Amino acid sequence: MFPVPLLLLLLLLLAPGSAAAAPGVTARTLAPCYSADLRPASGSLVSAVGCTVLLTAPALRGSRAVSWEYRAGTEEGVILSYAHNRPSFMSRLYENRTTFNESNLSLQVVLQSGDSRLYRLRSQEEATAWFHLHVVAPLSKPEIVGNSSVKAGGNTKLVCNVLQGKADSYWWKKNGQLLLGSERIQFVENTTLCILRASISDSGYYTCVVSNAVSQNETSFLLHVHHSANVVLPVVLACVIIGSLAGIFVWCQRREDECDNCWLFTGAPWRLRTRM
């Protein structure tokens, strides 16, 4: 015996005039188009803003007059109509960015962000099933916000912001290698990389990689972890100053009588040259 839900599904599939019985639209993205999938798809397709999609439909009965139609929620409309070998209507929404092929009735559309809709071809006698087109904005280079110079032992964070489009995933690389999380390296809310108790070896190029269905992009950031400045820098400066003072003192003691000779000696050739 069939379980009841399966039986209902079978009845739905076999019912005359149901969606499964209608001829289907096939669509594919034309190259070049970011990293979108260029394979043809039936039922639905994900493509990118700015790319061109080709919608094709099987031969319909009564196709001397046809229309490509769209539907989005309750809003429905005609993209273009074609009757008796000539175009009879063109929607302003799709004007100047669609090409209709009269021999196979296919439609090419250069996509805009509002084109995530259902599409179908209708003739006088029948219509295809609705085809679902998802239009995704390609990702621009993300922006990394953080402090490029960090004291050893301190905590720091790098935040990766997507400026255009919506990312489905984020990951980080350090000097080109995938960065894995650890007790000290943590990923917070996808966008943020936290480095706790930074050490000198944490210095390097950090890359944030973002991706969605149609694109991938990345940005790098040079992080420099240095020795704690408020201890090291004054010590180094003090050493340099003390050393210099001691050196000058010794040098002056030794050279006290020779100093004037030195000046004369080094000055002579210069004076000669300028006179020539």
Ligand X SMILES: *[C@@H]1O[C@H](CO)[C@@H](O)[C@H](O)[C@H]1NC(C)=O
Where on the chain is the footprint of ligand X (CB under 6 A)? 34, 92, 95-96, 101, 103-104, 138, 140-141, 145-147, 167-170, 189-190, 215-217
- Closest distance to ligand X from the beta carbon of 257 (Å): 52
Nearer to ligand X, 18 or 148 (CB): 148
Closer residue to ligand X (CB): 99 or 261: 99
Nearest approach, Cβ of residue 94 and ligand X (Å): 8
133 vs 195, beta carbon nearer ligand X = 195
Cβ closest to ligand X, residue 147 vs residue 199: 147
Nearest approach in angstroms of CB 156 to ligand X is 7
Q: Shortest distance, CB of residue 167 to ligand X, whole angstroms?
A: 6
Among residues 75 and 189, whose Cβ is nearest to ligand X? 189
**Smallest distance, ligand X to C-beta of residue 140, A:** 3
CB of 74 to ligand X, least distance (A): 23
Sequence-separated (6 or more) residues with CB below 8 Å from residue 232: none
Q: Which is nearer to ligand X, 102 or 125 (CB)?
A: 102
